[in-house]
Chain A
Amino acid sequence: MPSDTHEALLDVRDITVSFDGFKAITNLSLSVPKGSLRVLIGPNGAGKSTLLDTIIGKVRPDTGEVRFDGQVISTLPEHRIAGLGICRKFQAPGVLEGLSVRENLLLTARRDKGVLGILKSPTRAEQDRADELLHLTGLTGRADVPAALLAHGEKQWLEIGMVVAADPQLLLLDEPTAGMTAQETAQTAALIHTLAGRHTVLVIDHDMHFVELLNAPITVLHQGQVFREGDLHTLRADPDVMEIYLGRPRELVAHD
């Protein structure tokens, strides 16, 4: 297993994370190859969000380390980790409500995010990038609308756009379809497929219909550990996986 680690863009090595003695993650290892799309599922409290928190430096592992492109990042400050090209979309949308859609995208598209850098006017390239992101997220028609006035689904897309704006190598999406209609969910899946060509993407979601649309390798987390890895088809046939979803067993059952 350790032989292929140099190929991995993200390499989580044997991390343990605890909150006041409670182990949210226990000896978890996970590696995600460059350019791939990976889906992370697991019952509530499995530690999915905590894993993302650890990757972006919001929480620090007690033991183990997180490597990115070969470099240990679990000791770096958060904005440095973000600067290396890891961006995360949180569960709750957090667009800058006072700014327009375009301004939100333009702000996160800035290369120089220092105090003085932000005071300069954006470069041509940065503006083009914002336009590109408007197009990508399907928000071109809403460019000048204040973000506060967007519909829920639009906010989620804007936030994905903001996360993508800095052109991160690794994109972490935590439940991007929460609260979306079936149609919005399908659009989001299409958006993620577009992104997956250019970025390495790790998606968490509970919506099995969405997971099916993503059609990507799945890692199942349970009680802070990797429980299974495989495709949706195999996992659905796995009685142990069904077992841990007991209590919400219909989730893994096909929607059709």
Chain B
Amino acid sequence: MSIFSKIKRSKGDPKILRSGPSSLSSGDRLAKRLGWLGIGLGVAQLVAAGSITRALGMEGREGLVRAYGARELATGMLSLSTEKSLGLWGRVAGDGLDIATLAGELDRYNPKRANVAGALALVLGVSVLDLVAALATTARHRRSQGKQVSYRDRSGFPHGVKAARDAGNRAPAARSRPEPSRPVAFPAG
């Protein structure tokens, strides 16, 4: 690892003066933020399950909070990866679970009802963002986007495949080289 931390760009290399348009869309950027949010929340749920259950009046359900934390962590990491759509849809499904669980704690005998309501509002807000990001990245990265073209006419051989094959069959020198790893010639120059 330490060798990677020593890497620097060389002195004479071009430097950025102004940054321009990126390959990342706004949906991709949102996915990144949500991914990091998920990882942060996941870690918090895993290491501080006790404080969370106390704050929500859910004592005794630490195991569930930790399991949800693991889920947040997994879907968060996926949302940061090249499989981000999968991660975001996983987050949307997870939001459903969170909402159902919190709604169940919203009964009037829970002394921490106000905290639960606050948490629920937060989750509802995030779930809208998750849904927006999931829809946006799915649409943007779907393979079927754009035209479907056939390249069945592109042989690359100006005289046709048959002529190329014939040339190949006629050229024994090119066909078999006892030591193909030996150089053919010194570079042009």
A and B associate in one complex: no
A interface residues with partner B (beta carbon < 8 Å): none
B interface residues with partner A (beta carbon < 8 Å): none
